[in-house]
Amino acid sequence: MPDIPTLAVFCAATLGLLLVPGPAVLYIVTRSVSQGRSAGLISVLGVHTGSLVHIGAAALGISALLAASATAFTVVKYVGVAYLLWLGVRKLMRRGETEEPIELRVQSKRRLFWEGFVVNVLNPKTAIFFLAFLPQFTNPDVGPVGPQILLLGLLWLVLGMASDGTYAMLASALAGRVRRSTRARRRLDVGSGLVYLGLAAWLTTEKA
């Protein structure tokens, strides 16, 4: 299992990423604004139930890869760093286009849950992100990688639900302003880009 310092760094990095709103947060915020706080919280539960599928897939996939080749596992970790760098540069280079607010139809609670679940499960970027991010904090020398990824994934899940749940509860006060403001969206892009680049740089240094 990862040691305490590694888990602490992982939690700090995870919070840094989660606090910068991404597509899932914008979806949750929009639901909370259009149907109320409970709709936003149900959407959070659906989205992160979907995250469990990606976490399990990452644990199984990386474990199989390590069993096949330790070199391939190392390559995946470096590819993960490259992916985080790409995400950071992409965010920083993104222009602040104006976007129309998303209007969503009123849905039942059950439909809200399954819609959030499906939206996350069918998002290939989420799968790629977990495959790129979670292995960076594993160490084959201290035990099987699969259980390590499961533990890290569950920590991500807890922190993600807390973060996204907070956004859902604050959405009625903040969502409309953020969604209407090009400047606010640009600042979020720059902030998230710097977080991705900083994390990738730190991971690269750790491997040196």
Predicted confidence at residue 15, as pLDDT, reads: 86
Buried b (16+ CB within 10 A) or exposed e, 77-102: beebbebbbebbeebeeeeeeeeeee
Task: With a cut of 70, say whether residue 116 has pLDDT above it.
Answer: yes
% pLDDT > 90, the chain = 12
- Give the number of domains in the chain: 1
Mean pLDDT throughout 173-180?
Answer: 56
Task: With a cut of 80, say whether residue 156 has pLDDT above it.
Answer: yes
Assign residue 101 a region (left: φ > 0; alpha: ψ between -120 and 50; beta: otherwise): beta
Predicted confidence at residue 14, as pLDDT, reads: 87
Tell me the per-residue pLDDT of 117-147, one tens digit each, with 9 for 90 and over: 887 887 667 777 787 788 888 888 888 888 8
Which structural domain, as residue segments, surrounds residue 22?
4-207
More confident residue, 43 or 173: 43
Number of residues in the chain = 208
Question: pTM of the full predicted structure?
Answer: 0.70
Task: With a cut of 80, say whether residue 11 has pLDDT above it.
Answer: yes
